[in-house]
Structure formats: structure tokens, C-alpha cells
Amino acid sequence: MIESLSPAEATGATATRSPREHLRAWVLSNVLTIAVGIVLFVLLAFFAFTAESFLTLPNVFNMLRQIAPTLIVAVTMTFVITTSGIDLSVGSNVALSGSLLAIMIHAGWNPTLALVLVLLLGVAIGTVNGWFSSYQGLPPFIVTLATLSVVRGAALLITQGYSTPISSDAWVIVLGQGRIAGVPVPAIIAVVVAVVGGLVFTQTPFGRYVVGLGSNAESLRRTGVNTKLVGMVVFIMSGVAASAAGVLVATRLASGSSNAGVGFELEVITAVVLGGTSLLGGRGSVVGTTLGALVLGVIANGLVLLHVSPFYVQIVQGSILLLAIFLNTRLFSRFSTVAR
């Protein structure tokens, strides 16, 4: 008969680990995040030597501005996927939010009011996804696939397929094109979101509830946590982040379009999975997600500078997603077991 350790004995066993064993356990449990960090470093070195203008300040700032919407949504998608959910509607949300913002401003609405309403739209979309997924028990994949179609259709309906310009006189243009101390505003917003998201994920009870919901929802429920509410909140976070990303895209281009955000959800999910978040739930890394988003941005930017056809970018991103899923599902459990 195998006896289980009491909490005190388990704590004592952990305490007797040497610093070297702690380091080994940490490396094994974060191997995918470390790996994507190494990949990022290699890519930076490669493009620095092969693309002449890659490390110039204008290009770096331009790359950060383009990565910002992906990173913002990827941070919140980390929470969603850690609960063993997924949100496929973020790309359509980007299109609808940007289009609606442009239409309202073009019609003479106060830009601040338009911005608030667009963010509330994100809350509404996230609430619908969360209600059907968490409270009605429908698979998040199916729910968000349906809202993907509905929201994209709504974007096409209100725009009739045309782009709507945003006047440069509207202050919201600063969100996509402005700079603070020379740094693009979208990049600053993305960094703030990543830092806050990382702190919430690792340092708050809500972050622990998110991990618990993905690893053992029943045990978490029995401790008195409202697991359905936690599940809904992460979808609302994703909805608001997607709307914010739509605002950044529209104000950067000074135009709202129903064609924006096509394939955006795949890019976001690739960044999250590449960063080491488990598709099965119960484990996530905002740091890894940030590195994953940077990897995708560096690849896209570097290939353009090397005059490679933009069609290859999607092929590379799809290949990276497939490889990331393989490593995530095949190697994650093995390294986690060894780490224990």
C-alpha cells in the first residue's frame, strides 16, 4: 500500500530540495517558455544580419505598433485557454469594433462616447460567449465559432463592405498613431496590459481560480468558488481586449473596415500556445505569451524586409501553430511529470 504524504510532510520534502533541484524543476516546468525565448533571440540575431534595416529604431517602433493588438488580445486569451476554453470570435470583434468606432465618429458622435460604447460592445460579446459556455455548458469552440460568424456578419452589414475613414481631428487617432517620448502609444498600452495581466495571473486569487478551473473545476467549485462566474469573466476580458485591439487597428489605419482581423484569432492562439499555455487547461504563462507574440511579429516583419512574399507569412504562422500544438500536447505533460 502506498501512503500519501501529509501537507506538512510534503512541505518538508519540498523544503529539503537543494537550490540545484529547485532550478531543475523550474526549468522543466517552464521549458516551453524558455524555448520560445531562445527562438526569439535566434530570430532577432538572424534578421539583424540578413535584413539591413531590421534593428533600426523606426522599424523596431513600427514592429511594436503592429504587434500591440495581437499581444493585448493574447494576454487575455491566455486566461481563456488556461480555463480550457477558447475564443474564436476575437478577429470578428476587431472588425466590428473598428468599423463601429469609425462609423460613429464619421456621423459626428463624440469620440470619447464612441470609444466607451465600442468597449461596452466587447463586454456584451464576451458576456454572450461566457453565458453560453459557462452557464449553459456549451463547448466554447462551438459558441465562439457561432459568434465569429454573427459578429463578422454584423460588421459587413453596418459597413456594406466599405471602409469608413476616421478624421484626423478626432483625438482617438492618438491611440493608434500617437507617441509618448518617441514610443508608439499602442506599444505602451500593450506593455501595460501584459504587465497587469501577468500580475493578475500569478499574484491574485483570481489567477489561481483560472488555473484551478482548467485543471480541476469540480475541486475548485467545492471550495466555494463560483466557477461559472470565473469562466464568464475570462470571456468578458477577451471581448474587451478584442474591442480595444479593433480600436488600435482602426485608429492606426485611420479607417474602420469589416475586413480587418481576418485570421487574427489564429495569430493570437498561436502566440498563446507557442508561449507554453496548455490547450488542455490548467497551465498558462503570460510571459510566454508575450514572447510568442514577439516571435510572430519578428517573423512577419523580418520576412517583409527580406522581400519575401507576404503569402509565406501565413504558411509560416500555420506551421508554427502546428509545431507549437505538437510540442504543447506531447512534451508538456512529460516535462511536468519530471518536474514534480
Convert the pLDDT of each residue in 119-154 to its tens digit: 999 999 999 999 999 999 999 999 999 999 999 999
Summarised one tens digit per residue, pLDDT across range 148-198 is: 999 999 999 999 888 999 988 899 999 999 999 989 999 999 999 999 999
Given a cut of 60, whether residue 45 has pLDDT beyond it is yes
Confidence of residue 10 (pLDDT cuts 50, 70, 90): very low
If residue 281 lies in a helix (H) or strand (E), which one and from where to where? none
Whole-number Å distance between alpha carbons of 201 and 62 = 29
∠ CA 128-78-181 to the nearest 5 degrees? 105
> Percent of the chain scored above 70 by pLDDT?
89
What confidence score (pLDDT) does residue 2 get?
A: 39
What confidence score (pLDDT) does residue 4 get?
A: 39
∠ CA 200-206-212 to the nearest 5 degrees? 115
Residue predicted with more confidence, 96 or 24: 96
Given a cut of 70, whether residue 335 has pLDDT beyond it is no
Given a cut of 70, whether residue 8 has pLDDT beyond it is no
245 three-state secondary structure: helix
Report field, pTM of the whole predicted structure over 0.85: yes
CA 27 vs. chain centroid, Å, equals 23
What confidence score (pLDDT) does residue 7 get?
A: 44
239 three-state secondary structure: helix
Q: Please, what is the average pLDDT of the chain?
A: 88
What confidence score (pLDDT) does residue 312 get?
A: 80
Q: What is the arithmetic mean of pLDDT over 72-83?
A: 96
Given a cut of 90, whether residue 3 has pLDDT beyond it is no
Confidence of residue 90 (pLDDT cuts 50, 70, 90): very high
Confidence of residue 6 (pLDDT cuts 50, 70, 90): very low
Given a cut of 50, whether residue 338 has pLDDT beyond it is no
Confidence of residue 330 (pLDDT cuts 50, 70, 90): low
Cβ(210)–Cβ(189) under 8 Å? no
Q: What is the arithmetic mean of pLDDT over 241-245?
A: 97
Residue predicted with more confidence, 291 or 279: 291
Summarised one tens digit per residue, pLDDT across range 294-309 is: 999 999 899 888 888 8
What confidence score (pLDDT) does residue 28 get?
A: 65
The three cell numbers locating residue 2? 502506498
Confidence of residue 272 (pLDDT cuts 50, 70, 90): very high
Confidence of residue 331 (pLDDT cuts 50, 70, 90): low
What confidence score (pLDDT) does residue 122 get?
A: 97
Q: What is the arithmetic mean of pLDDT over 273-283?
A: 86
Whole-number Å distance between alpha carbons of 286 and 304 = 27
Q: Name the class of domain 50-334.
A: mainly alpha
Return all residues near 156 (Cβ < 8 A) that are at least 6 apart: 258
Helix runs in 51-184, H state only:
57-82, 90-106, 111-130, 140-159, 173-177
Cβ(268)–Cβ(49) under 8 Å? no
Phi, psi at 180, each rounded to 5°: -125, 115
Of 63, 90, 41, the closest CA to residue 269 belongs to: 90
The structural domains of the chain, with segments of one domain joined by +, span 50-334
